[in-house]
Amino acid sequence: MLLYAREEDRVNSIEALASLEIAIEASGHHLQVQVDSDCSSGLSARNYRISLRRMNVSRKMAVVDAIHRLLSQKIDASVSTLQGLTESRNTASKSTAGDKHETGRAMMEAEIGRAEQQLQKAKVLRNELKNLPWSIQNLAGPGALIQTNHGEFLMSVGLGKIEVDSEMCFALSGGSPLGQALMGRKEGDHVSFQGREYQLLSIQ
């Protein structure tokens, strides 16, 4: 991703810079910022870091929103499945009795039980997500968006890999093995996990 700082960006700086190039590895790509030499207003490293932080906050909120939508979809799907199974069970109950009927009813009850478990799990995860702190984090912990040399992780609920704006992010529970390994770490730290070395590039 290449961003250009121009005069219309209204970025003030104490020291005008002819060019500034900063690359950050995150999720397998480089974020690169370059200031054109013909800009009448330069971009200081401090203002760049502020701009980058704002971008990361926007990314964090996009990931959180995507997880909320995914959980809502899971809940809606489970509710719809339960309604269909319940109607089928009630209709089957009006038919004639027999061993075949009882076997089919037992199988349907098992499917209803699984759908109820899925619904309850999605509701629990959604409630956990709502209660997480979403302020800017300095350490890896609940609510933190962590950029590493091996991908992006949101310390939230265990949903695994999700795609947000064509980029992958891992929704990671703090109680998971990797979540526990990252917990309490700061930017620049290295963490070894299952034979892989993780470097924490940024934490939001």
Which pLDDT does position 12 carry in this prediction? 36
Domain residue ranges of the chain, discontinuous segments joined by +: 2-59, 65-130, 145-203
Q: Which residues of 37-71 are buried (b: 16+ CB within 10 A; e: fewer)?
A: eebeebbbeebbeebbeeebeebbeebbebbeebb
121, burial (CB in 10 Å: exposed 0-12, middle 13-18, buried 19+) = middle
The tokens describing 171, both together, are 């929704």
Q: Which of 58, 59, 13 is nearest to 35 (CA)?
A: 13
* Residues 122-174: tens digit of each pLDDT: 999 999 999 998 887 889 999 999 999 999 999 999 999 999 999 999 999 99
C-alpha to C-alpha distances, 78 to 111, 119, 160, nearest whole angstrom? 11, 5, 19
- Percentage of the chain with pLDDT > 90? 52
Cα dihedral: 48, 145, 129, 131 (round 10):
-70
Residue 185: phi, psi to the nearest 5? -80, 160
Residues in the chain: 204
Which pLDDT does position 99 carry in this prediction? 60
Which pLDDT does position 199 carry in this prediction? 96
Q: pLDDT of the chain along its 204 residues, tens only? A: 333 343 333 333 323 332 333 333 333 333 334 444 444 444 454 454 444 455 567 888 899 999 999 999 999 999 999 999 888 887 776 665 556 667 777 888 889 999 999 999 999 999 999 999 888 788 999 999 999 999 999 999 999 999 999 999 999 999 999 999 999 999 999 999 999 999 999 998
Which pLDDT does position 105 carry in this prediction? 76
- Percentage of the chain with pLDDT > 70? 68
